[in-house]
Amino acid sequence: MINTPKILHSQIKDVEFGQNVTIVKPVNIYGCKIGDHCFIGPFVEIQQGVIIGNRSKIQSHAFICELVTIGDDCVISHGVMFVNDLFKIGGPARGNKELWKSTMIENHVSIGTNATILPVSICDQVVIGAGSVVTKDIFISGIYAGNPAKLLRVFDEKLVDKG
């Protein structure tokens, strides 16, 4: 006997779009809000309840899970993964969303290729290096890298673009 698998297709469903949003298919985007002048690259998944601010760019192969908010003027590079389940019970929460945690990315944040972002808050004007794993909240503007990500350099306030 030959079994037939259930086949699902990537889609864009129930999304609130701002003005002038560009999307490169295929993507799987559902139940989220994407601000004005954003770019979403191919092979991206953005899950239900995610909010992405204005002028932000999500590069290919990124995964943005539920409970993530991304501010204005952010760059989420290729292959960035967000996590909302910390396996607090020794394994996946298996649908028990009460165990999930949220992530808040403020404005002017750039996250490098293949970084992993656990449930944290990241303040304005931060750069996360490629391949980094962010495990703790970031409250100081600057450049962070490594596993776990550590502060490498604080930004000079006179040089930071606040606009």
Distance CA 153, CA 145 (A): 10
Instruction: Calculate what percentage of the chain has a pLDDT beyond 90.
Output: 87
CATH number for the domain that contains residue 105: 2.160.10.10
pLDDT tens-place string over residues 126-161: 999 999 999 999 999 999 999 999 999 998 765 555
Domain of 54, in residue numbers: 12-85+99-154
Is the pTM higher than 0.75? The answer reads: yes
State pLDDT tens for residues 113-124.
Answer: 999 999 999 999
What pLDDT digit, counting tens, does each position of 16-33 carry? Answer: 999 999 999 999 999 999
Give the residue among 96, 98, 91, 101 at the shortest CA–CA distance from 134.
101
- Structural domain count, the chain: 1
